[in-house]
Chains A and B, each alone.
Chain A
Amino acid sequence: MSTNSSRLFATLALAVAASRTAAADDLARVRGAGVLRFGADAEGGAPFVYEDPREPGRLKGFEVEIAELLAARLGVRAEMKQHNWAELVPGLVRGDFDVALNGLEITDYREREIDFSRAYYACPLRLMARRSDPSVAGFDDCRARGRVVGTLRESYAQRFLEAEGIDFRTYDDQVTPYLDLEAGRLDAVLMEESIALYYGAPRPALRAAGPIFGELRYGIGFRKGETALKGEIDAALDAAARDGSLRAIYERWGLFNPLVARLLGDPSPDTDAPAPSRDEFLEIASGDGGGGGGGRLLSYAALLLGGTAVTIALTACGMALAMALGLGLALLRLYGPAAAGKAAVAYIEVVRGTPLLIQLLLLYYGLAQLGLKLPAFAAGALGLGLNYAASEAENYRSGLQSVPRGQTEAALSLGLTPLQSLRHVVVPQAVRVVIPSLTNDLIAMFKDSSIVSVIAIVELTKAYQMLAPVSGNYFGIGLVAAAIYFSIGALVAFGSRALERRLGAGWRAARGATPA
């Protein structure tokens, strides 16, 4: 596992080196295409990038507006490429989009792999606590024994808490920490102010605890060596800072603060401007979203259906590949020449012994470095198929071995060739034994397919994760998503039992009744 990840990082490092030598025609490429593709994750939600649930397909957020502003100054249009946030850097290196623009903090370790624009936003940290709990007045109160602070995984706030030696619990989304704080599972939540303003502050049971502190800065990520594009975008950012258009965006979203004023060289850190875009979002999120209005849920369900279609297509392609490859592996292992059998065993053991996540990352980002850039869907279906082939091979093997040796001997003595015996006598009996475990794996893959969101595929779970923070209704949307998974899984199970009955028509009791 650890050797796998270090190999992955080695390939990524190679990629960085390779892209450095690429010709500096990056700006010409963007202008020629007429589009600036920016990588971002709609799961991050407001105020960054989110899909408006009332207008499916329509993206909103202050970073969408910044991207549009920059693209306009380059004379092109902006296009968001959905990509898992945690993999934005490898996605950028792989060439899935031109720039990464999605709350990427400028850090030393990222600068080893990519270049950053000048900072476009500066943000402090905000601590929030319960109104009913006066014991947390400020950050220093979190040092008391037994206090636990919630925060986002791998964030600036987490590193801050680590450095201060405070007990913390990390989360993958920005809504549940505040829910846990309300429920008394946490004593405080420390987040970037941009997030606290949208997900903590609107909750009446919560309050700010002490003043803002700290500072982190967001930058736009470029592939190393794409200096022409970076230069042009830096110039556009400078101009937007000078002429007030960046400030106008931040004010609309209620995000202007003294740190930003300093960053933009703006002399007046006034923060009382109206924030219509934020108000609009909060209205959506708090309105009937929290209460779970039926009409709203229905429109979310429609959005989830797109993800469902992708999930079904992925599982269908993945399972077809797994079944075909698995059968080949099992036959090689049982009947093939010794060397081929050993190779099949090696494949099965290696694939079973490594996490699917690493395999997908290698297929998508790793292979890209060797020149093979698989489309996301193909890489996802291939990853699932190659992975499940190992367990299908073992299913087939136990199925084939469950057919008594006497069956083959009877077939051979009738003059069938070994291949004919397999085809007409052994396999038909093995299939029926294998169907239940095959069904299990089909349903498991259906659910496992959610993992492919790491390679920029929006399937059902990702669609849920993108909708939930926008709606503020984790429970209702979660129920809808779970219901979709469940009903399709139940349908598969039902079909499989019907198939078993059909195949088993006359010989259901065979095993008990025939001396075999």
Chain B
Amino acid sequence: MIRVRGLSKRFGGVAVLSGVDLDVGEGEIVCVTGPSGSGKTTLLRCLGGLETIDSGTVTVGGVTIAAGAKDGAALAKLRAKTGIVFQQFHLFPHLTAIGNVTLAPRFVRKESPAEARAAGERLLALVGLKGLEERYPSELSGGQQQRVAIARSLAMEPRVLLYDEPTSSLDPDRKTDVLEVMRRLRDRRITQVVVTHDLEFARSAADRVETVPGTG
């Protein structure tokens, strides 16, 4: 499902990633760990189509991005294949939970409000948030916000879901909630890549743990 070869990325003069290879099979959960500043998050953003790359290739679900590809059609295709659960969630604060989940289906896929809402309610139920549809993000706990973010990504039916430090803003006893959601998604053959420095979480969640070596 995911194939990365020789990926390098620089910001200004600083090499953040150099020559990274990564393979992830369909339905697999892979945790990527590494020291702070090793470029884990940048790798995730390259997979999610939010960054151009300087050398190498990134292939997700058959869409390949090569070095030098400008932000445009190719990156947009990559974004359509992937969903990202940001470390800070980036929920839309002016919309309710259901509003967050239905925004993209309504305006990107042009679904009717009723259609989008029915699907959105099913997704919120899947992540364990039934009954909280009309809450605004500010009225939800951190763990609930994270699961809204997951449901929001799932609404666009991505083949790949990418998590950036999913446990960093959770209470230790709430980690099992997100773990539970990840296992349900694996049952649906969704490929998941998790960037984390939480080794304990990585070991309990992942089929495989990969390490990005620090660059220097």
B-binding residues in A (CB < 8 A): 404, 406-407, 409-417, 420, 424-425, 428-429, 432, 503, 506-516
Contact = CB atoms under 8 A, between A and B. Distances in A.
Nearest to A408: B90
- Residue from A407, A508, A513 with most neighbouring chain B CB atoms (10 Å): A513
B174 to A, nearest CB: 15
A415 B136 CA distance: 22
B96 A414 contact: no
A413 B155 CA distance: 12
Contacts of B91: 410, 514
A410 B108 contact: no
Chain A to chain B: the 10 pairs with minimum beta-carbon distance, closest first: A510-B93, A506-B136, A410-B90, A513-B138, A414-B104, A406-B90, A510-B138, A415-B108, A507-B93, A413-B84
Interface of B: 48-50, 76, 79-80, 82-84, 86, 88-94, 96, 103-104, 107-108, 135-139, 142, 145, 152-153, 155-156, 169
Contacts of B103: 411, 414, 416, 424-425
Nearest to B169: A515
Q: Is the interface of A mostly helix, strand, loop or mixed?
A: helix
Nearest to B135: A506
A513 B80 contact: no
A60 to B, nearest CB: 60
Given A413-B82, A416-B107, 7 more contacts: A406-B88, A409-B50, A415-B76, A425-B92, A507-B94, A508-B138, A516-B90
Contacts of A414: 79, 83, 103-104, 108, 152-153, 155-156
A509 to B, nearest CB: 5
- Residue from B86, B94, B139, B155 with most neighbouring chain A CB atoms (10 Å): B94
Given A410-B90, A414-B108, A510 B137 contact: yes
B92 to A, nearest CB: 6
A407 B92 contact: yes
A407 B108 CA distance: 16
Nearest to A425: B92
B90 A409 contact: yes
A516 B49 CA distance: 21
9 contacts: A411-B92, A413-B48, A417-B76, A420-B107, A424-B107, A429-B93, A509-B138, A511-B93, A515-B142
B109 to A, nearest CB: 8
B86 A506 contact: no
A413 B89 contact: no
B104 A415 contact: yes
A512 B145 CA distance: 14
Given A406-B88, A420-B107, A424-B103, A413 B50 contact: yes
B76 to A, nearest CB: 7
A425 B82 CA distance: 20
Contacts of A510: 93-94, 136-138
Nearest to B45: A409
- Residue from B86, B93, B108, B138 with most neighbouring chain A CB atoms (10 Å): B93
B94 A429 contact: yes
A412 B50 contact: yes
B80 A507 contact: no
B49 to A, nearest CB: 7
Contacts of B137: 507, 510, 513-514
Contact of B108 (A416, A425, A503): A416
A424 B86 CA distance: 19
A506 B96 contact: yes
A435 to B, nearest CB: 13
B163 to A, nearest CB: 13
Given A413-B83, A415-B104, A506 B156 contact: no
